[in-house]
Amino acid sequence: MCVKTITSFPESSPAIDGAVSLFNSNNGRLLLIADAKEITARRTATASFLATQLLAFKKWKNEQKENAILTILGCGVQGRAHLDVFTQLFKWNKVKKKKR
Ligand X SMILES: O=C(O)C1=NCCCC1
Ligand Y SMILES: NC(=O)C1=CN([C@@H]2O[C@H](COP(=O)(O)OP(=O)(O)OC[C@H]3O[C@@H](n4cnc5c(N)ncnc54)[C@H](O)[C@@H]3O)[C@@H](O)[C@H]2O)C=CC1
Restricting to residues 27-66, name those near ligand Y by CB under 6 A. Answer: 40, 44
The stretch near ligand Y (CB under 6 A) out of 8-16, 24-32, 55-63, 87-95 is: 8-16
The stretch near ligand Y (CB under 6 A) out of 14-22, 23-31, 53-61, 89-97 is: 14-22
The reply on whether position 98 binds ligand Y by CB under 6 A is yes
Measured CA to CA, the distance from residue 82 to residue 64 in angstroms comes to 20
Break the chain down into helix, strand, coil percent, rounded to 5: 40, 30, 30
Q: Which residues of the shown chain bind ligand X in the complex (CB under 6 A)? A: 6, 8, 16, 40
